[in-house]
Amino acid sequence: MAIHPIEYRYCSDEMREVFEEEAKLQTWLDVEASLAKAHAQLGNIPKAAAAEIAKKADTQFVTVERVHEIDNEIHHDLMAMVRALTEVAGDAGKYVHYGATSYDIEDTALALQLRDAISIIEKDIDTLKSTLAALTKRNRDVVCIGRTHGQHAVPTTYGLKFANWLCEIQRDIDRLDQAKKRILVGKMTGAVGTQATFGENARRLQTLVMKDLGLTPVMVSTQVIQRDRHAELVFVLALIGSTLEKIAKELRNLQRTEIGEVLESFGDKQVGSSTMPHKRNPWKSENICSLARVLKSHVMVALDNNPLEHERDLTNSANERIIFAESFVLLDFMLRRINDILISLELQHGRIQENLDLTKGLVMSEKIMIALVKKGIGRQDAHEIMRTSAMESYAKGASLKEILLKNPQVKKRFNAKELERLLDPRNYIGTAREQVDDVLKAIGKK
C-alpha cells in the first residue's frame, strides 16, 4: 500500500517513469556502460569487456530485487548495483566501475534523471503558455475593475490580467532554460575531484563519458558536483510554482461570492461540501496554492545542501532522495491542473459589469480629476474636488454623477453628456489593448 500521497494522488504516469526506482537504477547502469566504453576507447580495458558490460547494464539483467538483496548485506546502494552488474558481466565484471567513486555514477545519473524531468516540465509549461495566450487574445477587450489593497481601483481588462501571467510564464521558461545549462553536467573526477584513479587520460575519459551521455563535463568538482547548481534548479521550480500560486490565488479571489467574476468548471455530479449542498468551492485553485508551499519549503533544504564539509559529507544524500522527485512530481501536477482550470474557466460577464458599476462611478474619479486639470483647474484643487465629492457619494449613497452635477466647478466645465462619457469605464483603459497586442506579438516569437 502507498503511504505518500504523491504516489496515488499527484503523480502523472509520465513523471513517475522518471523517478521510479527501476528508472533510477537504469540511469546508474547507463553511466557504468558509458564509463566502460570510454575506458575501452582509451585502451584502458578490452573492448570486448566494455561491450559485455554495456550489454548487461540493463535492468533486465541487474534487477532492483537483486540490488536490494545485496544492499541489505552491505548497506551501500550504489555498491550493491556495482556488485550486481559484476555478477552478470562474467569475466568483464572485473572492469565494472573501474576508477570511479560512487558519486561519479550517482551525480552523473542524477543529471540524466533531471534532464528527463525537465523535459516533461517544459512540455507542461509550453502547454500552459499556449492556453494563456489564447485567453489573453480572447479577452483583450473585456473591461473589468482593477483592485489594489483589495479595493476597487480603476478599470483594467481581463486581457491585460492574462497578459501579465503570460509574460511571467515566459520568464519562468527562460529561467528554466538557463538553469538547465548549469544542471545537466556530469563528472568522472574520483574521490576528491583530482581524477587520480583515472590516470593520465582522465580528462579525456570524462569528456568521452559525458559525450556519450549527452551531458556537459564539469570543469572542476570535489567528490560531488557542487550543490549550488541543484539549489538553483529547485529554486526555479519553486518560482514556477509561485507563479501558479499567484494565478490560482487570483482565481480563488475572483470566485468569492461577493465578486463572482469567474468560476472553475463544476461537474454535474461534483460535490462542493459534505454539509452545504449549495457550495461550489474553488478547491482546484486552493490545491495549487497548498502544494506551492511544499515546493517553497524544498528551496531551504537545497540551499543547506550547498555548504557541504570539506570535499563532501553525506548530509545532502537522504533529503535529495525526496526533494528532487517531490519538486518535479508536484510541479508537473500543478502545471497540468492550472491548465485544466484555465481551459474551462467561465467568465461571468454580467457580474464583471455589475462590479464595474458597484461604486456608482467612484472608480472613475481619477479620470475626471485629470479632465478637470485639462480644463484649467490646478491638480491639487481638482483632487480635493473629487475627494470631497467621493466622500459625499459614500455618505449619501448617491452616484458620483449626481454629486458632480451639483458642483459649480464641475458644472461650469462639463455638461451631463460629457460627464457620462467621462464616467464610462470603457473609455479609461489607457493602452491596455496595445499592451496585450505587444505581448502576444512578442511571446509568439519565442
> What is the CATH number for 418?
1.10.40.30
Residue 78 lies in a domain: yes
C-alpha cell at 295: 515546493
Q: Could you list the residue range(s) of the whole structural domain that residue 70 is in?
A: 17-98
pTM of the predicted structure, to 2 decimals:
0.92
Shared domain check, 131 and 88: no
Shared domain check, 245 and 330: yes
Lowest pLDDT segment from 26-35, 51-60, 412-421: 412-421
Shared domain check, 389 and 345: no
Residue 248 lies in a domain: yes
Lowest pLDDT segment from 59-63, 170-174, 367-371: 367-371
Residue 7 lies in a domain: no
What is the percent of the chain with per-residue pLDDT over 90, rounded to a whole number? 84
Please give the pLDDT value at position 234.
98
Lowest pLDDT segment from 8-17, 219-228, 270-279, 422-431: 270-279
Mean pLDDT (the chain) is 94
Please give the pLDDT value at position 7.
83
Shared domain check, 415 and 293: no
Shared domain check, 433 and 299: yes
Shared domain check, 119 and 34: no
Which pLDDT band holds residue 180 (cuts at 50, 70, 90)? very high
Exactly one of 273, 290, 297, 344 is catalytic; which is it? 273
Exactly one of 149, 274, 278, 310 is catalytic; which is it? 149
Which pLDDT band holds residue 230 (cuts at 50, 70, 90)? very high
Please give the pLDDT value at position 208.
98
Shared domain check, 299 and 231: yes
Shared domain check, 443 and 348: yes
What is the percent of the chain with per-residue pLDDT over 70, rounded to a whole number? 96
The domain that contains 92 carries what CATH number?
1.10.275.10
Please give the pLDDT value at position 274.
47
Residue 105 lies in a domain: yes
Q: In the chain, how many domains are there?
A: 3
Cβ neighbour number for residue 387 with a 10 Å cutoff: 12
Span 306-323, average pLDDT: 94
CA 30/CA 32 separation, integer angstroms = 5
Shared domain check, 437 and 396: no
Q: Is 149 a catalytic residue?
A: yes
> How do residues 266-310 score in pLDDT, each as one tens digit?
655 555 544 555 557 788 999 999 999 999 999 999 999 999 999
The domain that contains 305 carries what CATH number?
1.20.200.10
C-alpha cell at 185: 553536467
Span 345-355, average pLDDT: 96
Residue 5 lies in a domain: no
More confident residue, 279 or 330: 330
